[in-house]
Structure 1
Amino acid sequence: MNSQNIQVVLVNPSHPGNIGAVARAMKNMGLNHLVLVAPRKFPDPEAQWRAASAVDIIDNARVVETLDEAIGDSQFVVGTSARDRRIPWPVQDARLTAARIVERSVKEKVSILFGREDSGLNNEELRRCNLHCHIPTHPDYESLNLSMAVQIVCYEIRMAELEGTLPSDEDSHWENPFATSQDMEYFYQHLEETLVELEFLNPAAPKQLMTRLRRLYNRVRLDDMEVQILRGILKETRRVIREKGTN
């Protein structure tokens, strides 16, 4: 991905606070080119303080009067919408759209268009786009704040950029090796003996207690150090039980 080839374009934003929040969302995810098409109120102090540490994006934002000026040199244009407008046009969700943006940005200039807070992009503006990005909000409440929409798309771009570089749960570099099956069996034996001494477990009627405890610990996946800590607790528990029994 070449982030320098990606620009976020806000079409007729009406609230300066939203512009600041958009700048912050962009910087969180490594994007820094913001274009404002005929903003209703900009520059404005509210945009500055809402941007927090992303003031540089606000200061360097390009302000133009028309969409033509904003996307004239773009080779791939994406239009976003929180609603399914049923226009016969290529439509993808934010995740798939982000993958396309990351791929295209390597050699092409990409513009991501976000529409007005109250009405989004109009049909004419959407017809200027190569791809439509639909954000499938819940039908009970479909309204999506401008900065939230930008955050969703920018986040997916960031995740697409990092694909294959983030460790999964299984291959992460855990600080200690996971416990072996044999170590876990020693632990379960130790746990069962301790519960019997505590009279919490009746060996004559164990029911499903140890099965449920096995399911609990197996779901967590203990490492070597964690097993040692737990067995240390069990050992100390049994010592205290025996000392009280001799008093």
Structure 2
Amino acid sequence: MTPGRTTDLSELRARLRAAVRGEVAFDATARALATMDASNYRRVPLGVVAPKDADDVAAVLEICRERAVPVVARGGGTSIAGQATGTGVVLDFTRHMNRVLETDPDARTARVQPGVVLDRLQEAAAPHGLRFGPDPSTHGRCTLGGMIGNNSCGAHSVAWGTTADNVRELAVLTARGERLALGRGWAGAPAGLRELVDGELARLRTGFPELPRRISGYALDALLPERGADVARSFCGSEGTLG
């Protein structure tokens, strides 16, 4: 590590600690624990931040954006293609942002934080005779934030749907610091998205295969008017590249 890099790293750590209420760890142990997920990939981050809330996340994004430092969101680390690893700052959502905030049995919905483990959501829903549809084999460790990023499925998703099929609304922070409330009917759509879709309707209607568990690539066909222009659904499976 060059002296310049050392100085930059010290300044980054100091800025994060001053701006974030959660833990900021740049020691070797914290970095080693975030070096891998369930894949064979090994990428050592600069540091790990455990945000307390969305304001902490926004602060990390702003500080890292100003310094061109990449940010990776991490849940349970169950991904098998290296998605939860990165060489910049890793956001660990499992330490603090890990709760089921609200369940509404009548509306058949729940409001959760990104670091909540799937089994905790199932336990909250079970007394009402409800469950979250997807059931990946890592249900005891995977988090809802990671499931949304990956559009997770599971053995029963053909019957009960993928994660995208079971998401109604999303609160999203973009890399530029924009706070979006995504939903159906173009709710929360960033500038220019609707115009892009309107100009590509023919290709969007014919370019996506009709498969029960299609989770590869961006789900732009979810933005078609006949499918409700569902911005939240189109976000699922974007692997953190959109927010």
TM-score relative to the length of structure 1:
0.22
If you compute each CA radius of gyration, which structure gives the higher value, 1 or 2? 1
Determine which structure has the larger helix proportion and give its number.
1
Task: Answer 1 or 2: higher relative contact order, Cα 8 Å, separation at least 6.
Answer: 1
